[in-house]
A and B are shown apart, each in its own frame.
Chain A
Amino acid sequence: MIRELHTRLVERTLSARSLAEKYLAAIAQKEKKIGAYLTLFEKEVLEEADRVDEQIGRGEKIDLLAGIPGAIKDNICIEGQRTTAGSKMLDNYLAPSDATVIKRLRKCGGLILGKTNMDEFAMGSSTENSAYQRTTNPYDEERVPGGSSGGSAAAVAAEEAVWALGSDTGGSIRQPASFCGLVGLKPTYGRVSRSGLIAMASGLDQIGPMTKTVEDAAIVFSRTTGFDPLDATTAQLPEGKPFEELLDEKREGLTIGVPAEYWPESLDSRVRQNAERALERFQALGMKIESVSLPHTSLALPVYYILVPSEISSNLARFDGIRYGFSANDQKKTTLTRSASALLETYLDSRRHGLGAEVKRRIMLGTYALSAGYYDAYYKKATQVRARMREDFEKVFQKVDLLFSPTTPTPAFRLGEKNQNPLEMYLSDIFTVPANLAGIPALSFPIGSVDEGGKNLPIGGQLMGKWFDEEALLSAAAAFEKNQ
């Protein structure tokens, strides 16, 4: 899609302004039902579009992404703009600088339509934890778009944006991509800078693209990667060809491993059917299929829900009502009748009113897991099991190039169906969290759909690959997509 639009822009059969206007009109028409956006940049995006048209008019060469409108998850900072992370805590927060990914995408001329809705501080799998509004699945408005990057997923699926950025700590790009029929990529940890991403779990978070096609994902992805002195965890790798130029490489020799632990008895039979059919298609494309095992998989959820809340408890300590955000001391507000009389109360009251239930729950879990007397049994043990899980992947990747499984155990569930019990919501991430724990790249792509209540619900398949081998993921998925 991006490449075709680019050609039309360069040939001047389409202007960047009219393209931006088309998407703004779609947003105006659909947002009441979809609710994907929290903030729109109507004025700015048209100014940016005009600049691209001027460049084209002067005969200058423009990047593939120039003039193409996208959406940004609201935990990624844009200078001078409201950045809420889906929380009331940051309702009035203006980011002091652009995230590195934003700087890079802007340099290519990518247009930004607005900031998208998300589960508060990226904690959730349905976007129902947003402190602001509900986002619905464009395929069925009674169902969730997934989370935490639900707004980004819904925007692209509803054609309110050509591309979007999400973030993924335990599946927050891949699961909504699966629920909304999109391609969603979680890069290798260290591949994309996290500078300017409001941190959830610094050892797992990654920013990635959400698009309709594999090529579009590759195009956006290529423009976000690379070492960044502002993020010490970014890898210094030799520069290669952009990923969109590597999609047609012959993939016949690839071996795809099928990990038994990701195909449990309890798997929804329609999901299983679609996933098995996908394997047959990979085979028909010349790839070898092999059964493998990742023995520590059953520990993934407990390890995740100890390590991530631990990091959360530290990363969210900064939201204390002192320098920014919701504050019990806010001199502009008159709604809080009781003002904090001492510093401690500033913290307690600002956080009590500014943070939602799931956020508080995870902060508490993490504080407990890290506290004296419990640190060894919980946090330390979890980091050791995490190392064992990483070894599982190292061993398996000596035999196979990729791993394939369903992205989620079910298609999109109904609004309100899983948000009464936190444990039930956590289970929807069962296939996605291991990739974040190990740091490996993982991609969700559409493999079929199921009919439920007269609606067609998308099903996603997940490919996991070796560290820094996004090329294999993207080209295998591209081959699959091309030969539907």
Chain B
Amino acid sequence: MIPEETVRHIALLARLGLEKEEVKKMQKDLSAILDSFQELEKYREAGEGASFSGAGALTNAARADRSQTADENTRAVITKNFPASQDNFLKVRSVF
């Protein structure tokens, strides 16, 4: 069973505010899921060699570093989505 302390630590890393009962349930669920991965841990041979992360033959596929300005309509939608704003600026809480 994953220790409760670890669950709370991971929740903080993930910026998830969990209630006390949620922490307990998460502890149970995560432990059960991680236990089901035991077959993976046993598989030593498959863990050697190259890895694959999905992108296949691509390397350094980046677009040109050019700034772009959004058009009026796009800007309107984006600013409409701001939860809090002031003079068309996005308003956020201070860090401290």
15 additional contacts (CB under 8 A) given A346-B92, A378-B37, A384-B48: A80-B77, A96-B81, A232-B63, A233-B55, A233-B61, A301-B36, A305-B37, A323-B83, A324-B81, A330-B83, A330-B84, A340-B93, A352-B17, A352-B19, A360-B22
Partner of A204, one of B19, B43, B54, B85: B54
Q: Mark A293-310, 1 if CB is under 8 A from B, else 0.
A: 000101101110110000
Partner of B30, one of A190, A321, A332, A368: A368
Query: Would you call B50 and A384 a contact (CB within 8 A)?
Result: yes
CB contacts between A and B, total, < 8 Å: 176
Q: Which of A340-391 contact B (CB under 8 A)?
A: 340-349, 351-352, 355, 360-361, 363-365, 367-368, 371, 377-378, 380-388, 390
Whole-angstrom distance between the alpha carbons of A305 and B80 in the complex? Answer: 36
Query: Would you call A387 and B74 a contact (CB within 8 A)?
Result: no
The A interface, classified by DSSP as helix, strand, loop or mixed, is helix
Whether A385 touches B93, Cβ cut-off 8 Å, given contacts A93-B81, A189-B56, A352-B16, is: no
Query: Would you call A384 and B47 a contact (CB within 8 A)?
Result: yes
Q: Which 9 A-B pairs have the closest CB atoms?
A: A203-B54, A348-B17, A327-B83, A383-B51, A352-B17, A232-B61, A324-B81, A387-B52, A347-B15
Whole-angstrom distance between the alpha carbons of A320 and B15 in the complex? Answer: 8
Query: Would you call B16 and A321 a contact (CB within 8 A)?
Result: no
B22 vs chain A, min Cβ distance (A): 8
Q: Which residues of A contact B29 (CB under 8 A)?
A: 361, 422
Whole-angstrom distance between the alpha carbons of A383 and B74 in the complex? Answer: 38
Query: Would you call B93 and A329 a contact (CB within 8 A)?
Result: yes
CB nearest neighbor in A for B25: A357
Count of A residues near B, CB < 8 Å? 73
Whole-angstrom distance between the alpha carbons of A302 and B58 in the complex? Answer: 26
Q: Which residues of B contact A419 (CB under 8 A)?
A: none
Is there a chain A Cβ closer than 8 Å to B1's Cβ?
no
Query: Would you call B33 and A365 a contact (CB within 8 A)?
Result: yes
Query: Would you call A423 and B32 a contact (CB within 8 A)?
Result: yes
Whole-angstrom distance between the alpha carbons of A229 and B66 in the complex? Answer: 14
Whole-angstrom distance between the alpha carbons of A382 and B61 in the complex? Answer: 24
Is there a chain B Cβ closer than 8 Å to A478's Cβ?
no
Is there a chain B Cβ closer than 8 Å to A255's Cβ?
no
